[in-house]
Structure 1
């Protein structure tokens, strides 16, 4: 929830605390701005009052002078009252949720508080939102009593992933007589993150570095004996139940067993973002399918305890990623998933033309499951992609052909040749037709993997697979 603070004296000036300035530092400029807010009615009353006063002076009519003063004073009093009131109106915005999948709605709630001792006149509220989220919301509020509060809400929705700013909130105040209108802006912003759509994937058998989990871990613990424990010197605060008495007798000082950290299964998801590899734009473009597919796989693998890493063709990873990627522990998986989704929400096409930088990163990495989403591959890039398989325990490639997506037909010969080349290098390569279902392709890759390699079950920690 973001607080806009008191409406500022002009523009959308930003204070250090995210609140609008009250504008009291420049009274002269503030008064001029207030006078410029006179409506046509207010200007007409002021002009009529001045004219009546001049005529009363010329004609010597005191009664006409009183009428002229009344007509001139009324809009000026409205300006002063409204000018003082606009310092005492606060606004805030609450966005829920702050992260939504593409095509889903988020709710924005606006709150206006009158903290002055005077009631306000008619209020017109407007929030600035990007046009991709829908029409700009506008609300008309009746007078707000002293100390009163008004709340309104609207919904935003986008079919395109990305990060979208909401704000600033603008408030237009009107006096009860319609003599003056003042527009003030709050400085606070909120950010709506629209993440890619994801699909739940079925558990499958894929070989990878699964040491530390499942059957492999239980076998290693069964074969390990007491002599395999590597002790260390006792430190203040260590649990005395971890004291290793045999080592204590041997070294002559108190020794404790180390906290063993089993090696976590790893998975790298490679996303090809080259602009030349994906034709077309929009929510149904092949690049958006690849981004959504990468998001689905990342969540699916992360939920199963793998340490996951997101890699693009530029060789860059997601911000905040550790040495072994994002942890998949129950305590950290939610935060890791959020960081990965935020990264994919903002990912865009790269200007690169090859996959060499991603290949260099994978060549120096540790073995594990590799899942790649490729766009168009020419013969040279297919060779680079084929060499990525050498450092991986298992590799699955989803290949999207732009020409096939544009025509809506079947894969042509060049694509089948690329698929065959990847399979010869050890990839489980699957061609992605337009509008394909990722869960179905995921199972197809599993069947292909089972025919060639068999594999260790990672679909469930019990080791039975499906």
Structure 2
């Protein structure tokens, strides 16, 4: 829905602007009326003067009616859904309401839509009674991810006689977010799971002794079995035991966006494959209960340092408990607009990862030279497990060229991505149970 409720029509210029809306028929009637009036004055024919006044006044009355009507029409736009995967359709509904006491004439609607979403939709509404409304709908589809504005809606008013047409634009617009497509990934065991819990398992940690209990006030929904009666008697109000929060497994999805690391463009390019892979892995790990974040080669993180939903203390990781859906939305929104960076190094990402134990790291990398492979290799030192999907256009079929060898020697599970490879198949190969030494080599 358009923010702020219905969008009311606003004035666009004065009377001169309204007169400019006269059609060819309206101008002809006005010119004929003026000519008839001049002839009636010259020839002394009062009947001809009446005809001239009728011809001249009719288009002016139509202009006055439309000029007043243009302030009394409102519109509302609804997107379903407002966030849609690439190559999928979204439905847009337009509700036009006549809030005046007079019926409208012919209404012609045109919504502004970027060319990548398809042609501009146009609709014709014959008549809208006072207080009535009309609803029209159209569909949009994009093969390219991104954020696309819809609107503002253009409304063309016309009188029944075809004397005048006025075009105006509403003020508000909406944004359709086209996010990357995601693939369903099988459940596998990867390095780094031992540092916390995944698979949405919430383990209850044993409490300390009775003397170490830190009580807090009772909140609606608390389990009555947690009531601490000694503190309740002491403070005179219902108190419950404060349970220690379990440590959650973390996952960082690293996306290489360096322009020099990828070749080609379009939905089937290697970079788009990497973006789709990052989105799929991020959602998969969130579903398994991991605290997940997205990190790019520039060092930027999503969620940011404050985490999802403004919850502090998680070091930029999101996805705890009820905010998993919000974290997923933040990650998809970020990946919808992510673009190539002009940097040539992965060191900013390394600076972020060297801050502490990062749990599992899943990286989607482009072409690597020996220097950048060494930087990526050092990232492994602060992680519980590391899996790298390398999209290297220089690969000539040899699986042991220097950058990949450096990654494997550093402890990374390396999977070389070739054109046509499916992420789900590669994800199965990353299963640490299939690679005893945890350095999974490509087939």
> TM-score scaled to structure 2, two decimals?
0.89
On the 8 A contact 2:380/2:411 being kept in 1, the answer is yes
Query: d(CA) in 2 for partners of 1:399 and 1:38?
Result: 64
- In structure 2, the residue matched to 1:231 is 213
Shift in alpha-carbon separation, 1:411–1:220, aligned structure 2, 3 A = farther
The residue number in structure 1 matching 2:428 is 443
- Determine which of 7, 17, 22 is the counterpart of 1:38: 22
Q: Residue 305 of structure 1 aligns to a residue in which SS?
A: coil
Does the 8 A contact of 1:304 with 1:328 survive in 2?
Answer: no
The answer on whether the counterparts of 2:203 and 2:246 sit within 8 Å (CA) in structure 1 is no
Give the alignment partner of residue 419 of structure 1, picking from 382, 389, 404.
Answer: 404
Instruction: State the shift of 1:325 in Å.
Output: 3.8
Contact 1:133 1:156 in 2 (8 A): yes
- Distance (whole Å) between structure 1 residues aligned to residue 186 and residue 345 of structure 2: 32
String of CA shifts for 1:67-109, please: whole Å, max 9, x gaps.
1111100100100111111111111111100000000000000
Residue number in structure 2 paired with 1:140: 124
Question: Once the 2 structures are TM-superposed, how far is the Cα of residue 64 of structure 1 from its aligned partner?
Answer: 1.1
Match of 2:177 in 1: 193
- Large movers: runs of 4+ above 6 Å: 217-220, 243-248
TM-score, length basis structure 1:
0.84
Give yes or no for contact 1:428–1:449 (8 Å, CA) kept in 2.
no
Task: Specify every segment of 5 or more residues in structure 1 that has no aligned partner in the other structure, as ranges.
Answer: 11-28, 249-253, 405-409, 456-466
Distance 2:368 2:387 in 1: 15
Distance 1:122 1:226, change over 3 A: closer
Contact 2:303 2:317 in 1 (8 A): no
Q: CA deviation at 1:285?
A: 0.9
Q: How does 1:122-137 map to 2 (within 5 A)?
A: 122-137=106-121
Specify whether residues 175 and 417 from structure 1 end up closer, same or farther in structure 2 by C-alpha distance, changes over 3 A only.
Answer: same
Matched, 1:393 2:384: yes
Partner Cα distance (1:352, 1:171) in 2: 46
Is 2:333 aligned against 1:342?
yes
* Counterpart Cα distance in 2 of 1:412 and 1:211: 35
Q: Is the 8 A contact 1:266 1:369 kept in 2?
A: yes
Shift in Å at residue 261 of structure 1? 0.6
The match for 1:432 is 417
The structural deviation recorded for 1:412 is 5.3
Residue in 2 that maps onto 1:291? 275
- Separation in structure 2 between the aligned mates of residue 448 and residue 319 of structure 1, nearest angstrom: 31
Mark the CA change 1:317 to 1:8 in structure 2 (over 3 Å): closer, same or farther. Answer: same
Q: Note the C-alpha offset of 1:282.
A: 0.8
Query: What is residue 311 of structure 2 aligned with on the other side?
Result: none
Provide the residue aligned with 2:247 in structure 1: 263
Q: 1:86 aligns with which of 31, 48, 70?
A: 70
Q: 1:219 to 1:147 in 2, by over 3 A?
A: closer
Stretches of structure 2 lacking an aligned partner (at least 5 in a row)? 233-237, 308-313
